[in-house]
Amino acid sequence: MIAIDEAPSDGRRAATLSAETREQWSMFGLALPALLIVGFLVFLPVGWLFGLSLVADGQPSLVHYRRLLEPAYLSIFTQTFQISFQVTAMALLLGYPLAYLLSQIPRKVAGLLMICVMLPFWTSILVRTYAWMVLLQRRGIINGWLIDLGLIDRPLSLVNNYTGTVIGMLHVMLPFMILPLYSALVKVDTSLMRAASNLGATPMRAFFTVFLPLSMPGVIAGTLLVFVLCLGFYVTPALLGGGRVIMVSMKIQQNAAMYFDWGAASALGVVLLAATALLFWVISRVTRIERLFGGS
pTM of the model: 0.82
Structure confidence at residue 285 (pLDDT): 77
User: What is the rounded distance in angstroms from the CA atom of residue 140 to the CA atom of residue 19?
Assistant: 69
Mapping DSSP to helix (H, G, I), strand (E, B) and coil, where does residue 162 land? helix
Q: How many CA atoms lie within 13 A of 265 on its CB side?
A: 17
Q: How many other β-carbons are positioned within 10 Å of the β-carbon of residue 234?
A: 14
Structure confidence at residue 1 (pLDDT): 43
User: What is the rounded distance in angstroms from the CA atom of residue 223 to the CA atom of residue 74?
Assistant: 24
Domain 67-292 has CATH 1.10.3720.10: yes
Structure confidence at residue 3 (pLDDT): 46
The amino acid occupying position 133 is: M
DSSP state, 122? G
User: What is the rounded distance in angstroms from the CA atom of residue 46 to the CA atom of residue 21?
Assistant: 32
**CA neighbor of 170 nearest in space, from 227, 93, 249, 87:** 87
Decide if 240 contacts 126 (C-beta within 8 A). Answer: no
Decide if 85 contacts 227 (C-beta within 8 A). Answer: yes
How do the pLDDT tens digits run along the chain, 296 residues long?
444 444 456 666 666 667 777 787 888 888 888 888 888 888 888 888 888 888 887 788 888 898 889 899 999 999 999 999 999 999 999 999 999 999 888 888 888 888 888 888 888 888 999 999 989 988 888 988 888 888 888 888 888 899 999 999 999 999 999 999 999 899 888 888 888 888 888 888 888 888 888 888 899 989 999 999 999 899 899 999 888 899 999 999 888 888 788 888 899 989 988 888 888 888 877 776 555 555 54
Decide if 96 contacts 211 (C-beta within 8 A). Answer: no
Whole-angstrom CA distances from 44 to 38, 49, 67, 225, 228 are: 9, 9, 25, 24, 22
Structure confidence at residue 4 (pLDDT): 47
Sequence length of the chain is 296
Whole-angstrom CA distances from 156 to 128, 234, 237 are: 21, 24, 19
Q: Which helix (H) or strand (E) holds 60?
A: strand 59-60
**CA neighbor of 174 nearest in space, from 103, 120, 245:** 120
